[in-house]
């Protein structure tokens, strides 16, 4: 790399200062421990919350419920107070975090809030069989925090908690309806997440949240559609939906050069089509192998053509 | 490494590094484009996700291709062996001659999958026919297949610099003592562990010594050696960590503690579980070695979480809470200390992101934080961008670079 830096400097592609800085980085005269320290912080929070959880479970009888509740609530309030004090307030645009601990303090606050809600329900059973509403409340608070404090980690937490609420709510419908209803819930959730992300982007509101919405939404939607393809009643409808969503995902991947979405489209689409094809009738062993041979050859040819057309290396 | 990769890999490395410089805000898009143009590699590369897809469907296609004559001709073990022996060199030839030498593919998925399949089929060709030849022969054939896979993975690593193959070789190496124990009827699991430990230790020391000359090595080799070193260290750590040790050896492999060969092994385990993270961290800091630092941090966190298997300072919840507070406090203190230094540096170290990967969802401050360290981009510059230091004088270097 040092040779290349000399060459780029002498050909005036890099300035003297840029080449000097890069030489120092590659020569390890300047060494960043940014992610190592973040990993240490994350690991510390993981150990701390695990320890606190065990502490609560083991000693709640001796410490007393109110003391524990107060301690958790206090920790939660302290975390949010820190974020409110150090954060820049709401902005529809992306915000720079004020310091390295900010993201983790917010995450800790959100996790403590979840612990507080769980503890309250476990101890006092305010909502009894309707306990899943706590999940909805958590999801909404997390989403609010994600938008106010501009944090994509908490946004992921909020969206997955919302998904969990829908899943738990669906499970109350009973065993007979379970499969279909869960699929429908997943379809609704996936579409909702994608729609919310798209709407936000169109409104110019937290545009940088769109990838989080799309990755989660597309995966949930495609998983639900693939799961539905095998069903006797509406397999064709699910396959049509899968092809439509997969095409959309592939189109987005090629337009935005975000090839992860192409991976989703091709893999989920292939699994869905294979399930549908093999369900169609009685296949001989040769027929099944021939199907895999032809489909793999077709996809390889298509992928090579796509790479040539779009120059996917970069 | 083959001549094509030796020449082309340097260009690929420069172009890929230039993209990182651009993403870190150190150079402009125009500069990155100029670098890409000047160092345009002759090798064909594809995006990581397309690489995965190409690898998956190559495997599907080749397996179907081999299965087709096997099913049509209803072949038995001998026929399947014959098919493997025909297709293994064919796969290797297509990958090496047609795709790499002919089409100049470089880590595109298809050629990697074909080479892996070639090695796998060669190993299967040895293992399959021994199925009906008695228990001892079967075990011997399985060991031979194992050795073929190990040799093949090493060969592919040396010839093409594939880090994934190096990982495969390390997995095969780690499995070797178990196979040997099966063949040689070792009744003592401790002996297997000792052989495993010695083999992994040798691999770790060898790769560490080779990495000492990393500047003169090709990128593919550096990645492969890093893979060997970290896999060996991770294997040693898993072997000596008592939690993993008990889970793996006593529960999964059904070994009872009464059969212990070395009474002192638990003490050695405890000592190594403490020493490995500390030594990795010390070496990582001293040599500014990122892989060792990551290994040190992760293994230190794991050691804290499994602390109860070694020392009992009190109850587990109190231990974990105290350890968590200590780790958070240490990380936070280090962050503040590094940021309070001159130009946010302490010696060679800084807590600011330079060319580091931006982990998803946690990169909000990356561009803002880089600005005090970044020099002024040479070409166009966005309005309002005011870098904090055009020259660098920290860390013992003069400002007159």
Average pLDDT, stretch A14-36?
A: 83
Q: How confident is the model at residue B24 (pLDDT cuts 50, 70, 90)?
A: confident
- Report CB contact under 8 Å: A18, B367: no
Q: Which residue of B lies nearest to A32 if distances are taken between CA atoms?
A: B350
Q: How confident is the model at residue A174 (pLDDT cuts 50, 70, 90)?
A: low
Quote the minimal CA–CA distance from B197 to chain A in Å: 27
Quote the minimal CA–CA distance from B313 to chain A in Å: 14
Over residues A121-164, the pLDDT tens digits come to 777 777 777 777 888 888 999 999 999 988 888 888 899 888 88
- Report CB contact under 8 Å: B397, A29: yes
> Mutating which of B26, B42, B49 best tests the A interface, going by the most A Cβ atoms within 10 A?
B49
Over residues A256-266, the pLDDT tens digits come to 888 889 999 99
Quote the minimal CA–CA distance from A174 to chain B in Å: 37
As to burial, measured by CB atoms within 10 angstroms (0-12 exposed, 13-18 middle, 19+ buried), residue A303 is buried
Quote the minimal CA–CA distance from B17 to chain A in Å: 9
DSSP letter for each residue of A73-87: HHHHHHHHHHHHHHS
Asked if the model's pLDDT at residue B356 lies above 70, the reply is no
Asked if the model's pLDDT at residue B62 lies above 90, the reply is yes
What ipTM was reported for this prediction?
A: 0.85
- Report CB contact under 8 Å: B35, A13: yes
- Report CB contact under 8 Å: B53, A262: yes
pLDDT of residue B358: 47
Asked if the model's pLDDT at residue A115 lies above 90, the reply is no
- Report CB contact under 8 Å: B327, A30: no
- What distance lies between CA A8 and its chain's CA centroid? 39
pLDDT of residue A300: 93
pTM metric for this prediction: 0.82
Residue A31's nearest CA partner among B349, B289, B283 is: B349
Q: Are B13 and B219 in contact (CB under 8 A)?
A: yes
- Report CB contact under 8 Å: B68, A31: no
Q: Are B335 and A38 in contact (CB under 8 A)?
A: no
Asked if the model's pLDDT at residue B371 lies above 80, the reply is no
Lowest mean pLDDT of A94-103, A149-158, A244-253, name the range: A94-103
CA–CA dist A243, A256 (Å, integer): 20
Task: Say which residue, A55 or B377, is predicted with more confidence.
Answer: A55
Residue A96's nearest CA partner among A39, A22, A149, A21 is: A149
Q: Which residue of A lies nearest to B364 if distances are taken between CA atoms?
A: A96
* Rg (chain B; Cα; Å): 26
CA–CA dist B144, A294 (Å, integer): 34
Asked if the model's pLDDT at residue A94 lies above 90, the reply is no
pLDDT of residue B248: 62
Asked if the model's pLDDT at residue B313 lies above 70, the reply is no
- Report CB contact under 8 Å: B330, A44: yes
SS3 call for B44: strand
Over residues B254-298, the pLDDT tens digits come to 655 555 555 666 777 778 888 899 999 999 888 888 889 899 988
pLDDT of residue B111: 93
Asked if the model's pLDDT at residue B353 lies above 80, the reply is no
Average pLDDT, stretch B79-92?
A: 92
């Amino acid at each position: 790399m040092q040779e290349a830096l000399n060459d780029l400097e002498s050909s005036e592609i890099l300035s003297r200062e840029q080449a000097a800085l890069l030489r120092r980085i590659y020569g390890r005269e300047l060494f960043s421990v940014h992610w190592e320290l973040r990993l240490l912080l994350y690991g510390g929070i993981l150990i701390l919350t695990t320890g606190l959880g065990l502490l609560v479970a083991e000693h709640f009888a001796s410490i007393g419920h109110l003391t524990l509740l107060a301690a958790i609530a206090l920790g939660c309030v302290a975390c949010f107070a820190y974020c409110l004090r150090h954060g820049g307030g709401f902005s529809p645009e992306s915000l720079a975090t004020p310091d390295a601990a900010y993201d983790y303090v917010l995450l800790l606050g959100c996790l403590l809030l979840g612990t507080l809600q769980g503890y309250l329900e476990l101890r006092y059973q305010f909502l009894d069989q309707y306990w899943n509403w706590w999940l909805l409340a958590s999801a909404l608070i997390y989403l609010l925090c994600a938008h106010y404090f501009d944090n994509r980690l908490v946004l992921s937490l909020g969206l997955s908690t919302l998904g969990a609420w829908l899943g738990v709510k669906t499970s109350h419908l009973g065993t007979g309806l379970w499969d279909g209803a869960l699929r429908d819930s997943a379809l609704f959730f996936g579409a909702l997440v994608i729609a919310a992300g798209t709407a936000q982007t169109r409104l110019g509101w937290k545009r940088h949240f769109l990838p989080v919405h799309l990755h989660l939404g597309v995966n949930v939607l495609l998983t639900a559609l693939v799961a539905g393809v095998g069903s006797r009643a509406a397999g064709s409808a699910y396959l049509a939906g899968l092809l439509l969503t997969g095409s959309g995902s592939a189109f987005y991947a090629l337009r935005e050069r975000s090839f992860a979405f192409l991976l989703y489209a091709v893999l989920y689409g292939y699994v869905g089509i294979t399930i549908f094809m093999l369900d169609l009738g009685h296949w001989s062993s040769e027929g099944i192998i021939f199907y895999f041979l032809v489909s793999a050859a077709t996809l390889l040819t298509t992928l090579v053509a796509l790479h040539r057309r779009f120059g996917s290396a970069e | 490494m083959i001549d094509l990769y030796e020449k082309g890999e340097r260009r690929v490395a420069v172009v890929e590094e230039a993209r990182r410089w651009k993403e870190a805000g150190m150079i402009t898009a125009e500069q990155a484009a100029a670098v890409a143009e000047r160092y345009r590699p002759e090798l064909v590369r594809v995006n990581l996700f397309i690489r995965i897809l190409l690898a998956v469907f190559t495997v599907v296609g080749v397996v179907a291709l081999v299965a087709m004559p096997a099913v049509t001709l209803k072949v038995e073990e001998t026929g399947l062996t014959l098919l493997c022996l025909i297709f293994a060199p064919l796969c290797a030839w297509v990958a090496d001659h047609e795709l790499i030498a002919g089409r100049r593919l470089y880590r595109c998925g298809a050629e990697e999958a074909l080479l892996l399949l070639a090695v796998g089929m060669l190993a299967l060709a040895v293992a399959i026919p021994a199925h009906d030849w008695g228990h001892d022969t079967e075990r011997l054939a399985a060991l031979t297949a194992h050795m073929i896979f190990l040799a093949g993975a090493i060969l592919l690593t040396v010839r093409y610099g594939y880090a994934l193959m190096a990982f495969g070789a390390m997995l095969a190496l780690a499995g070797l003592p178990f196979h040997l124990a099966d063949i040689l009827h070792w009744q003592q699991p401790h002996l297997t562990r000792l052989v495993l430990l010695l083999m992994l230790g040798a691999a770790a020391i060898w790769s560490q010594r080779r990495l000492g000359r990393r500047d003169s090595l090709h990128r593919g080799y550096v990645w492969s050696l890093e893979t060997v070193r970290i896999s060996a260290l991770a294997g040693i750590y898993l072997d000596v960590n008592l939690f993993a040790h008990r889970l793996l050896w006593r529960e999964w492999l059904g070994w009872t503690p009464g059969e212990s060969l070395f009474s002192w092994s638990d003490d050695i385990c405890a000592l190594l579980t403490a020493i490995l993270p500390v030594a990795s961290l010390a070496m990582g800091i001293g040599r500014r070695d990122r892989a060792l630092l990551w290994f040190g941090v992760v293994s230190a966190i794991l050691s804290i979480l499994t602390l109860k298997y070694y020392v009992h300072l009190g109850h587990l919840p109190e231990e974990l809470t105290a350890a968590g507070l200590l780790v958070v406090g240490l990380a936070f203190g280090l962050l503040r200390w590094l940021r309070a230094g001159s130009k946010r540096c302490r010696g060679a170290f800084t807590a600011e992101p330079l060319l580091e990967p931006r982990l998803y969802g946690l990169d909000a401050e990356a561009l803002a934080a880089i600005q005090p360290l970044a020099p002024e981009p040479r070409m166009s510059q966005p309005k309002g961008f005011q870098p904090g230091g055009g020259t660098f004088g920290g860390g013992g270097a003069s400002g007159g670079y």
